[in-house]
Structure formats: structure tokens, C-alpha cells
Chain A
Amino acid sequence: MTEQEVYKLSEASRQKIVFLRGRYPSAKSAILPALHVVQEQFGFIPTEPMAEVAEMLDMLAGDVEQVVTFYRMYNQRQVGKFVVKVCDSISCYIRGSDDLIAQGEKKLGLKCGGTTSDGQLTLAKIECLAACGSAPVVQVNDEFIYNVTPEQFDAILEELKTAKENPYFVP
């Protein structure tokens, strides 16, 4: 398969974007949710679908790129299957989030921001997740884990090494 074929939007993704577009008075307003759809398909936002999305939403490809590079949730390159994000803002910091990051780096043998060689896990830090009363708080992809202890964090990383689905998904 060539790169181009790999990064083509699926029919399901296109349909979702068309549906989203219909919800707004202006098609362009659907860009953030549309990019969530793109990321859901590829795990990051490749360059090729940006033009496709731009066309669907009556935008310029450059405008789409501006949006992609502004918002931190859009990964601009491939990341691990599970991204473990440790909140390191003030309330988590004063309850030990830096220790969790150091622990994760040691256990996975990488620097924060890095991905394991099998592409399974990325360790990252993230700004305030609005769960300060349950600090330290961790997200696995977009799902929360509250009041994480060092023992739990170790077990979480261990579990994710082989997990197929996100174990912390709550519908």
C-alpha cells in the first residue's frame, strides 16, 4: 500500500463529517469535531486528509492546518495506541504528579513524550484536566483515572502494555 491509500478518509468517517457539518449554520464550524473524527481513524492527523476535510467544509487546506497546529489534542504525528497523560498542573503537582511521571519514565524506559518501541504506549504530561479534587489524575487516551497512587500507576502501565481496548472507558 502506498502512503496515500493509507491516509484516505474512510467512508464512515466522511459520513460522520457530513452529519456534523449539517449541525452548524456554517460548515466551517464543524472543523474541530471533524478533526476528532480524522484522529479517531488514524490516531493522529496526517497531512493528506486535511485537504479532503477542507473541501468538505468549504475551507482552505491551510486553514485546516492552522487549526490542527493550534489545538493540543490533535496529534501531528503517530503516537502510541494508548497515550498515558499525567496532569502536572498545580493541584496534581502538589500531590505528587511529578513522581508519577518519573516513575513512568523509569518503568517504560523512555522520556516523557516518548513512545515504546512496540507503539503500544506513549507517556505524556498534560495541563489541568479539571479533576483537581482527585489529584493526581491521569488520562488514558480521553478517559479519566482519579486519585492515582504509585502502586496503581505501576499496575495501570503494566495492564496497558498488553491491553487491546481502553480498560478505563466509561460509556
Chain B
Amino acid sequence: MSVVNYNQDMVFPPPPPTKDPNFQHVLLKHREVPNLYNLDVYRQNGGYEGLGKALKEYQPDQVIDLMKQSGLRGRGGAGFPAGMKWSFIPKVAGPKYVCCNADESEPGTFSNHELIENNPHQLIEGILITCYAIGSELGFIYIRGEFARGARVLERAVEEARAAGLIGKNIMGTNFNCEIVVHRGAGAYICGEESALLESLEGKRGFPRLRPPFPAVAGLYARPTVINNSETLSNVPHILRNGIEWYGSFGTEKTKGFRVYCLSGHVERPGNYELPCGTTFRKLIYELGGGIWKNRSLKCLIPGGSSTPILAATDEVLDTPMDFEGIAARGSMQGSAGVIVFDDQTCIVGAVLRLVEFYKEESCGKCTPCREGTNWLVQILHRIEHGEGRPGDLDLLTDVGGNIAGKSFCLLGDSAPVPYNSALKLFREEFEYHIREGRCMVGPGAFRTKELAGAH
């Protein structure tokens, strides 16, 4: 008997005990249907009907048009319309590729983890439809190396699908041929950046590429390539099967559909919540998530993964619809929909230090401003956090941050100063207090003496 006993029929990561009673799970259907990872069960629940429809009722171009009309926007962070992305693929002879980005590593984000481990066929079906639409015969799933079980689940599902004639030659009796390769990464956040992902898949270090050319023109092996996030691709079969009107009945005007919001941090019931796009933070955090833990109050939140600006705990923010436009109007971003909640006992300096440490660790080292700059950010924040901050440090941090953002190849450099810049706007007083008093203004660290502060 082990300390914890897990078996393969359980849902991983463990889901929260609540759900929105007015919304029926689509992507997270595996919570209601046991063993949905199994091909037979998946097919009994409408699985691969979307693929069948695509292959038998539509020309590839029509699938792209359908996807454009559906309004599906990328779930990885940028929110780019998926159909539009597909339509950029030139109609040329020769190989084209589809890469599924399952390198989920953005702090605060864990929806792909659940979708992959519990509903692998949904993703595979989405990739097959995408391949058909753009004229590709080879799709890759780039899954982060740490998802060892996720990769095992996917490999098994690919084999099941191949045995059933859903992968390989003449799929479903048509002349569509397609292979899918599950490719495990090896621990590098940067490989979630699409051009670094391609480099990595080509067998190199994951260094981002300079664009143009864009992947649609010269991607994997310099061939036209579509790269979509795994949640985005998981939506595709449902849109094909149920139609664009059904899909458009969820969500807001500019952000259609539903998405898996990842709620973490200081809430009573953290976990993945699948909700229509445009649900408010208030509903997610208080109604579904059970509110702030330990009867404390909300200090601030990060709306879409660690790279998005921190938002204050105001009524205006809480009543903001969680879609791309709504959150942008509050000065932040929808990003990857990873909502991280902080209670009033959190020292913002410690939290920002930890957020920025991530970018320092994960900077690939290609661009000097990011490689060196993230180190400096951490060093300065580290001394403030440990009671050794100096007057002028806050301006220095702003200056260093300004020399990283916009001066590096990829978004990692733009993201690294975001936690500090946004926190400073909201909590300048706390940073100044930390420098002046050598300890935290709030939380357990507030009771330290200056001498002891360096010890933690």
C-alpha cells in the first residue's frame, strides 16, 4: 500500500468538486463519461463523427471556411483565429505539416494536461481534421517531456486509432492518408514558443527563429506548417460534428465557444473549469472556486498565465467577462486562461520574485537582453526580498525591464518584466516598504526583524 494510490481510471490532474450547473462539459466530458480515453467509449459518444463528416461531406477548403466562420480563436495565448491561420497555408505541392503544441508550461496553466491524459482521441481527431483541411499527411504532437504519462496515453490512443483505420492509409475508406507522431520534449518552456518548437522538433536546441518567414510559409523542415495549441485542436471535432451555429451559441461576440479556465492559488476549490467564454472572474473565483481560502480576502489576480499583467481586486475587474477583449480593456490579457489568485496575506515582492525567477530559469540564452536582463531582475528583486534593497532599486528594475522587452527575439523577453511592472503600478508602497524596513508589509514576513530578514 502506497502513500497515495492512483489508478488509470482516475481523472488527472484531480478535478474540483464543482461545476457550472448551467453548462454541459464538452471538452471535459471525460469527467462524466468514465474511460473516455478508450476508443470504443469515445466513439459511442460521438467520437470521430466530426472527422467522418469532414472527410465525406466537405472539401478541405470548406473545412477551413467552416473554421473561419466558427470564430474559434487560438487557446495558447494570442487568440489568433484558427481558420485564418489554416488559410495562410499556400497551395503548393510537397509535404505540409501540422504541429500540435502540447508543451504546456506557462505557470498557472494546466488545461492541456487534463485534456491529453483523459481525452486523447479528441485531440487526435482534431489533428486529423486539421491535416485534412490543409493537405497534410503528417501531424506531430509536441508534448512536454514532463508529461510522461500524457505521452503514454497518447501513444496508446494513436495505436488504437491506427488499428481501427483512423490513422494510416485510406482513412475511413477515403483517399485521405495521415500519420501522427507523438514527440516528447525534454524540459524547456521556450519550446512552447512556436518557432522554438519547430527547431526542437528538427533535433536542435529550442532557440526561437526570426520571422518572417512565418511557419505557414516555411515552418518544419522549411515546409508550410500549422501550429495550434492542443486545446484549440480539441475544439475542432466538436465544431465539425455539431456545427458552427451550435458553437457560436456559446461565448461572446468576438470570443466564441467555451474554454477550460485554470484556477489556481489561494482559492478553496482550485482546478480546471470549462465555461462559456466571457464568464466573469467573480463567477469563476467565488461561485465555482468557493472564494478565497481561509476566509481571507482577494489581493490581486493574474488573469491568463504568469506572462499577463496582474490585476487589482476591484469590483470592476471581478465583473470583467473573461474573453480576449474584456480582459484587454482592463489592461491585461486573456492569455492561456490560467487564473492565479492571491490572498491578502501574500507579500507581493516574494510573489514577483518567484514569477521572474521562472523567466530567468527558462530564458533560452539566445538573446543577450533576455539572458542577462532576467538575471539582473532576479538579483535585484532577490536583495529587496531579503531585506537588502537599496534606494533607487525600483527605478533600476524598471530600467532593466525596459531593456529586455521588445529587444529579444520572442515573447519570453517581453513577458519577463510584466509581473514586476504590473505589480509596481498596484503595490508600489509595498515595494518601498520592503526596501525601507527590510521586511514584508503583509503576511508572516511582516513580523521579522531586519536582522532576521536575510535568513528566509
Contacts and interface: CB of A to CB of B under 8 A. Distances in A.
Interface of A: 23-26, 28-33, 35-36, 57, 59, 63, 66-67, 70-74, 88-91, 93-95, 126-135, 137, 139, 142-147, 152, 155-156, 159, 167-168, 170-171
Given A67-B204, A142-B146, A132 B107 contact: yes
15 contacts: A35-B186, A67-B203, A73-B145, A73-B187, A74-B186, A88-B354, A90-B107, A94-B346, A95-B266, A127-B107, A130-B105, A133-B110, A145-B4, A152-B3, A155-B3
B4 A152 contact: yes
B264 A93 contact: no
B431 interface: no
B110 A131 contact: yes
A33 B149 CA distance: 15
Nearest to A64: B203
A128 B358 contact: yes
Given A89-B358, A90-B358, A130 B110 contact: yes
Contact of A133 (B138, B264, B346): B264
Nearest to B148: A142
A126 B188 CA distance: 11
A131 B201 CA distance: 24
Interchain residue pairs A-B with the least CB separation, the first 9: A28-B203, A142-B148, A71-B186, A132-B264, A73-B187, A72-B187, A91-B264, A167-B2, A133-B271
B262 interface: yes
Contacts of A147: 14
A170 B7 contact: yes
B2 A135 contact: no
Interface in B109-138: 109-110, 112-113, 138
A26 B221 contact: yes
A128 B105 contact: yes
Contacts of B3: 152, 155-156, 159, 167
Interface in B195-224: 200-206, 221
Given A93-B354, A127-B105, A26 B148 contact: no
Contact of A129 (B146, B188, B351): B146
B8 interface: yes
Nearest to B269: A133
B203 to A, nearest CB: 3
Residue of B16, B262, B342 contacting most chain A CB atoms (<10 Å): B262
Given A25-B138, A59-B203, A135-B270, A130 B109 contact: yes
A74 B270 CA distance: 32
B203 A30 contact: yes
A147 to B, nearest CB: 7
Residue of A24, A33, A133 contacting most chain B CB atoms (<10 Å): A133
A130 B113 contact: yes
Given A24-B181, A91-B265, A144-B13, A132 B202 contact: no
Contacts of A89: 107, 306, 354, 358
Contact of A25 (B2, B14, B112, B221): B221
A12 B338 CA distance: 41
B14 A171 contact: no
Residue of B148, B189, B271, B340 contacting most chain A CB atoms (<10 Å): B148
A158 to B, nearest CB: 8
A32 B351 contact: no
A32 B184 contact: yes
A155 B302 CA distance: 34
A159 B4 CA distance: 11
B104 interface: yes
Contact of B185 (A66, A71, A88, A146): A71
A73 B358 contact: no
Contacts of B2: 159, 167-168
Contact of A132 (B10, B16, B184, B262): B262
A75 to B, nearest CB: 11
Given A70-B188, A144-B13, A29 B203 contact: yes
Contact of A170 (B12, B186, B272): B12
B279 to A, nearest CB: 17
Contacts of B7: 170
